[in-house]
Amino acid sequence: MCKWYDGFTFDNKNELFNPWSITCYLQWSRLKPYWANSSSNSLVGELIRQGGNGLKTDFEKLLAGDSVRRQVNEFVSYRTLRYDSNAVWSLLLATGYLRVAGHDDN
């Protein structure tokens, strides 16, 4: 379950998982991306469409199975998303679309 849901680590000790996914897993005993159907993806889509060429190039790399290295802000706010071009990475990480690759990952 931990590997499938790939929790967030903020202090290098404790992992935090999406409570909706964990609750659904405990109820139905099936690993599925429950969170994926729990909200609209319109904000993420809008930010990606409005992003510059660098963002689109990064997404092409991700879709090809490569990785990108970007700085994220754990305290990103909704209003920051409109003027900080790097904020989209923080949103994608916080909402579970992306994960942080550890030093053991390839």
Provide the phi-psi class of 40: left if phi over 0, else alpha when psi is between -120 and 50, else beta. beta
Same domain, 21 and 56: no
What's the pLDDT at 37? 62
Residue 9: φ, ψ to 5°: -120, 120
pTM to 2 decimal places? 0.56
Same domain, 22 and 44: no
Two tokens, residue 36: 């994926």
Same domain, 66 and 105: yes
Same domain, 46 and 7: no
What's the pLDDT at 57? 92
What's the pLDDT at 103? 47
How far apart CA 6 and CA 104 sit, in angstroms, is 14
What's the pLDDT at 90? 86
Give the other-Cβ count within 10 Å of 34's Cβ: 18
Same domain, 23 and 44: no
Same domain, 55 and 91: yes
Two tokens, residue 25: 């897993």
How far apart CA 15 and CA 5 sit, in angstroms, is 11
Give the other-Cβ count within 10 Å of 89's Cβ: 21
Q: Which residues of the chain have pLDDT under 50?
A: 103-106
